[in-house]
A and B are shown apart, each in its own frame.
Chain A
Amino acid sequence: MARITLAEVHDVAKLSRLSLSDAEAERMTTDLDHILEYVETLRELDTEGIEPTAHAIPLETPMREDRAVPGIDPELAVANAPASIATAFVVPKVIEGEDEG
């Protein structure tokens, strides 16, 4: 059990904005360790110099003309929101430093 540690699972969960109970995290560590062990078979392959494939089918870069269409009705834009005021979404107070941009 060394491919991924409990601490790493907690870190990655935090990065993914998931909070895991201790039991969940332990379970996940076991599962992921298992999967990563399996994934290690890829190491057998020498891929030096091989181009990575992002898409299997060659496609041309599609672009659209710079033409604006009217946006959707603002009421509709926030219709699914768990919380909104007028046409703005509402979230719990953003604390400075939580800003990640």
Chain B
Amino acid sequence: MSASDLSKYETSKYEIVIGLEVHAQLRTESKLFSPAPVTYGAKPNHSVEPVCLALPGVLPVLNARAVECAILAGLATHCTIHTRSVFARKNYFYPDLPKGYQISQYEFPIATDGWIEIPVDDGEANAAAKRIGLTRIHMEEDAGKSIHDDAIAGSDATLVDLNRAGVPLVEIVSEPDLRSAAEAGAYLRTLRSILRYIDVSDADMEKGNFRCDANVSLRPRGQEAFGTRTELKNLNSFRFVEAAIAAEARRQVEVLASGGEVQQATMAYDASADRTRVLRLKEDAHDYRYFPDPDLIPLVFSREEVERLRAELPELADRKSMRFREQYGLSEYDARQLSASRSLGEFFEATAERHGAAKPVANWLLRDVLQALRELELEIDESRLAPAALASLIRMVDEGKTTANSAQTLVPELIRDGGDPEVLVRERGLEAVSDAGVLAAAVDEVIAENAENVERYRGGEAKVLNFLMGQVMRRTKGKAAPGSVRELLVARLSDERP
């Protein structure tokens, strides 16, 4: 057995158990405990005031919007919301932690005992949902940033920027309910969708406002008790998360297969080597000396406040997806795609309403619009394509005023610059060729120039028709309605049978 065979064999003997801790940045104007602005990409220390700098004598005051965001996050994930929670200090020394402690929640978090449902993709269209428990959601402040730049600081120094220090976060801790790297990925994508739906976080991993740590352990299949876990820190992209978990699982399999024991440790993932390595062992674990922050009063709000926020909660992806299937007769797959983001779902419904039929709208959105967005690296809500414009474009295709091909070519432009499709079709001369004479001439020319293929068609090779159709389309620059072309071709080819 080769090494990889061995590991495959060993892997099948173990079940992987994963719990995730996600830090999501809340979307606020100002920081959690200070009025300094939340910015992205500002120059070092251009977004700080005395509280962020932990100057002697400063005090924290809680941001009300951040609290609302945390409650909304708890409600959207079916958590119990605690109307009394307590901010605690987590004490440790690090240059990007200006106070020498992080204000977090410890014994009494704002939300506990929730769950979300993730799609378990088995490659089939009808994927099952799996419920993943959430242990807790708590509020805390972000740390600043250490910058390791030898060119600026020299090789024996580190730069510290406190712009990010104090930015509001929620930490969302899952139960160890995930059983594969793919499930971990699905969990993160679902969680991100929820946070974006309720508009409490941009949840953008690239910008560092959606970060993930993973607790990974193995246990022999069938065993109830968990194995010793390790914690993977700072997994900052979806690809990274799945690759790192897989790598850590491989490492643990190798340890166990060689008769060793997994040691409780904090691990880092090295992407270039696709390996994990120990950052520090349990015995070096820190004693954070949590205690209630005496500068802050326990966070208390009323049940009514929670209910007011619950009423504000939008329809979330799973509910919306179900409704799309029922209301519009969409497939599970299409419904799920269209409800993946709140703005896409809203765009779909607005377009469908104007157009009148949901299915063609779904097809256009999922195929042409999403592809163009990907190519342009834009999100649907950054697009200038209006639902009315897309509805009108699709209707023109339906009515044979233009061809699907022509319409497709307009999509990127409509996304980028907006505009009225009817005007664009006219200006670009993209009206469908409906002149029977022009079409007939093109068909005749193609038949005349492709004698060999015509023969093959007549000899029974039906699929050659597609090739001939393509030739006609080319000659009419894609402006001929494919239906008419096919009809005419078939007629002429049988007409002129010698």
Interface residues of A, Cβ cutoff 8 Å to B: 15, 17, 54-55, 59-72, 74, 77-78, 83, 85-94, 96-101
| Selected contact of B45 from candidates A17, A54, A61, A88, CB within 8 Å | A88
B294 touches A54 (CB 8 A): yes
Closest-CB distance, A1 to chain B (whole angstroms) = 23
Closest-CB distance, B105 to chain A (whole angstroms) = 13
A66 touches B297 (CB 8 A): no
Closest-CB distance, A17 to chain B (whole angstroms) = 5
A70 touches B37 (CB 8 A): yes
B53 touches A77 (CB 8 A): yes
A42 to B146, CA, bound (A): 44
Cross-chain pairs A/B with CB under 8 angstroms, 19 sampled? A54-B294, A55-B297, A59-B297, A62-B61, A67-B29, A69-B36, A71-B46, A71-B49, A71-B52, A78-B45, A83-B157, A85-B159, A87-B46, A88-B147, A88-B161, A96-B279, A99-B94, A100-B92, A100-B94
User: In the assembled complex, which residues on chain B have CB atoms less than 8 Å from the CB atom of A65?
Assistant: 64-65
Q: Which of B114-122, B123-131, B298-306, B422-430 contacts A (4 or more CB under 8 A)?
A: B298-306
User: In the assembled complex, which residues on chain B have CB atoms less than 8 Å from the CB atom of A88?
Assistant: 44-45, 147, 153, 159-161
A47 to B235, CA, bound (A): 45
Binary flags per residue of B27-48, CB closer than 8 Å to A gives 1, else 0:
0111000011110000111111
User: In the assembled complex, which residues on chain A have CB atoms less than 8 Å from the CB atom of B301?
Assistant: 61
Closest-CB distance, A85 to chain B (whole angstroms) = 6
User: In the assembled complex, which residues on chain B have CB atoms less than 8 Å from the CB atom of A71?
Assistant: 36-37, 45-49, 52
B50 touches A72 (CB 8 A): yes
Knowing A60-B300, A100-B92, the reply to whether A68 touches B67 (Cβ < 8 A) is no
Of listed A60, A66, A86, residue having the most chain B CB within 10 A: A66
A55 to B300, CA, bound (A): 15
A62 touches B160 (CB 8 A): no
Closest-CB distance, A66 to chain B (whole angstroms) = 3
For B100, give the chain A residue with the smallest CB separation.
Answer: A17
Sort A-B residue pairs by CB-CB distance and give the 3 closest, nearest first: A66-B65, A68-B37, A88-B44
User: In the assembled complex, which residues on chain B have CB atoms less than 8 Å from the CB atom of A97?
Assistant: 279-280
B46 touches A67 (CB 8 A): no
Closest-CB distance, A64 to chain B (whole angstroms) = 5
Knowing A55-B294, A66-B63, A92-B156, the reply to whether A74 touches B44 (Cβ < 8 A) is yes
Of listed B143, B153, B161, B289, residue having the most chain A CB within 10 A: B153
Report B122-169 residues with CB < 8 Å from chain A CB. 143, 146-148, 152-153, 155-162
A68 touches B29 (CB 8 A): yes
A91 touches B160 (CB 8 A): yes
- Let me know if B66 is at the binding interface, CB within 8 A: yes
- Let me know if B286 is at the binding interface, CB within 8 A: yes
A39 to B121, CA, bound (A): 60
A74 touches B46 (CB 8 A): yes
- Let me know if B62 is at the binding interface, CB within 8 A: yes
B38 touches A63 (CB 8 A): no
Binary flags per residue of B47-60, CB closer than 8 Å to A gives 1, else 0:
11110110000000
A71 to B48, CA, bound (A): 5
User: In the assembled complex, which residues on chain A have CB atoms less than 8 Å from the CB atom of B5?
Assistant: none
For A78, give the chain B residue with the smallest CB separation.
Answer: B45
A9 to B226, CA, bound (A): 36
User: In the assembled complex, which residues on chain A have CB atoms less than 8 Å from the CB atom of B153?
Assistant: 85, 88, 90
| Selected contact of B160 from candidates A69, A89, A100, CB within 8 Å | A89
A3 to B88, CA, bound (A): 27
- Let me know if B208 is at the binding interface, CB within 8 A: no
A72 to B67, CA, bound (A): 25
A15 touches B159 (CB 8 A): no
User: In the assembled complex, which residues on chain B have CB atoms less than 8 Å from the CB atom of A86?
Assistant: 43-44
- Let me know if B95 is at the binding interface, CB within 8 A: yes
- Let me know if B287 is at the binding interface, CB within 8 A: yes
Knowing A65-B64, A66-B28, the reply to whether A74 touches B297 (Cβ < 8 A) is no
For B157, give the chain A residue with the smallest CB separation.
Answer: A90
B94 touches A101 (CB 8 A): yes
